[in-house]
Structure 1
Amino acid sequence: MRFLCNTHSSISTCNNTTSSSSTSSPNPIKLTRFSYSSLHSATNAFSPRVLLGKGSHGAVYLAVLNNGSLIAAVKKPTSSVSETSKNEFNILSTIRSRRIVNLIGYAVDPDNNLLPIVQYMPNGSLYDYLHVNNKPLSLLTRVRFALQIAKAVRTLHNKSNPPVIHRDIKSSNVLIDERENARLSDFGLAIKGHVADVRVMSTPPAGTLGYLDPCYLAPGDLSTKIDVFSFGILLLEIISGRKAIDVEYSPPSIVDWALPLIKSGGCAGILDRRIRGRVDQTVVRELGLLAARCVRSTAEKRPPVTVIVDCLKKVYRRVKVEGFPVLGSLRRRVRRVERLEPSDVFDGSDWEESGMKVGPTRIRKKGSNVDNLTDDEITTRGRHSTVRSRSRSKSIGAFREIAKGEQLK
């Protein structure tokens, strides 16, 4: 099997602007157009001192606007990838949610490049929380972040008409706001439109190595389930504290490492050892099973995002109760009684796509759903023999020249 990738680590997608028919909204969002001169002044001439980050699609700067009353982030794209800014603007101008980084306004530079202005997130990215900061996140915070990200994806898939497919869900694209809530960002590679749309069908695959759905090899493979796969990788990353691809471990792929443990019943082995305090192993098992279903190699068998949200809500409530000594003690006593009836132990059936209701009522089965999966369904094989770079992975656009067995360059 051949992976067709460009020799560059990241490029913008082609023909990715959204047509007027797909961006129409019954309640248009009011946006402010800022003059380029005011933006130039607000960023101190785009000084490196206010640089928030730099990626393959351009740079992001801190801007103090409206005489200091508005603090925002300005995306300044490179001229070669200005289409991604237009695409992000077209999508964000029709969506507003507490779970995404919203568009505030825009400006146009002298070269006629669009500069989107979005909400400023002062606490960095989830990638920093997991892999840079010395203080490890509690299990409660990790589950809360996972739930908030799932809600963001639900907004894109189910509450937008036509739906939005993000195509680049990863920890560095999840930002943390001033209230320590997770928000999904960076819609440069996103697609808004129905899968049957001619424009959508002609858009080449895009994503980030390590998070990219292996089923997504051609435009015709596009569906909301590619976001579900990426979310499953991110969920494994949140649980374990490991990067999606990390050459310091063997195997370097988080999927190839975690799924055999989950399938064999060793879900406790995927939990980040830095997490302190008592951990409910049933919670870890539920999270592991959910992640395993999200990354199944057959896209149709992955759960819809609505089911993912419901499952994470249940897990979050359970973890939150554990944080209160009295309620936690009561729950542990109830669990001791529940152990007398093995058929009532969580078996992963909440994530069947047959529409089972998530809640205290469960269909009783013997064994785990993951135990019934074949190796082909639950295990995603390593797609790349060598990964040289140890830095975080970058988004890629069209695919061209990386074959199986070749090194990434």
Structure 2
Amino acid sequence: MSQRTDESLSRRVHGGYALGSLATGAFGTVPGLLLLPYLTDTLGVAAGMAGLLVLLPKAWDVVINPLAGRISDRTRTRWGARRPYLLVAGLGVALLFASIFAAPFGQHRGAYVAVAFLATATAYAFFQVPYVAMPAELTTDPAERTRLMTWRVAVLALAILVSGALAPLVVAAGGGGVPGHRWMGVFVGALIAAGAVGAFLGTAGAPVGRARESEPSLRAQLRVAAGNRAFTRLLIVFVVQAVGIATVLAGVNYFAAQILDRPDDGPTLLFAAFVGPALLVMPLWRRVGAQAGKTRAFMIASLLFAAGALALLAAPVLPPVAVYLIVAVMGAGYAGEQVFAMALLPDRIADDEARTGKRQAGVFTGLWTAGETFGLALGPGVFALVLALFGYVSSDTGQAAAQTGTAKLGVLLGFTVLPALLVALPLPLMPSPSLRSADGFRRA
């Protein structure tokens, strides 16, 4: 059983830190959900090209995220190393996100979206990397980190539910097409701003960790991170799974319209079914983790998600309520994946710091968030490739064009078999469970 220690954080810090997930949840969800169909069904961009426009700006994260980590590692202010970025970069993300869907140009709108998305991704790197680095510095107690992650994932699930379920409704309420997407951009931008300001204010006065010597160069730090096998294997699994999760996000609108024949309310109902249960299963996953350890619990959650995705192959012949129940099972698995992956990361950072005596949380989290954001961007690109291979037809009317049976099969396979494989196949790479930590969870 977990024990409270003198490193326990207040509920204000738990809640304040978790509010940052309003920003990460909204930015991680809405582009993956709406940007691809916005390009293919509103701006008339061909599916393959649309996938590239979504993917290439996020590929920049592989470069900018480690740099953002190193810069925040070296930052010294009276607010700490990380908190200034929560406010300044977070507000920048909010403004730039709204600009993605402004569509000020005619025939060059696709290129404009790519440039605006690139700028937003850059600002997001300077919010996300310091934000993810904070738990390893707020406390050295593994049990407290797990509690912190439980709060964070609960808010993350709420952010995904609110942003993912309401964003399509805002588009519809705003008149659909370009005008509706402009209103949606403002709505999600406001949600991101609220999360950034809330995290900055809520973590005021919290421990900021002790500054330690860092490696002398970014290349040296990356070498250290690559030499940490447990971290590297966990990162690979997390990135591949992020691609799988992102294919589900990218496919929601297409699945609702082409498979369920519910283009209006289908995306919202699918999102509610996927994310809603996550708010209820957090205590259950914590018990599973306490009994089985973080690594085994992570694998159980991953297999639950994959099994649900494969079961959705029967969606064309199932009643909608059965489809939503299966999606709820996937959502429960997704919640567990997120809790245990993010609880394992600070342990790996703390282990490295204890071994080397150097403060390198920013570099590890820079690599982690670069991999995550690249995976979340690659998912829509992979899904778009599947659409293109199966002959999906784009439209510039704001409504999806009529599709062939082959194109609909591509939507079904991209939403079911593909994410199931991407989530389940990398699991053998997970580090083997080792000694139990103080909270009863296994450290690896």
TM-score by structure 2 length? 0.28
Which one has the bigger helix percentage?
Answer: 2
Structure with the greater relative contact order (CA < 8 A, sep ≥ 6): 1 or 2? 2
TM-score by structure 1 length? 0.30
Larger gyration radius, structure 1 or structure 2: 1
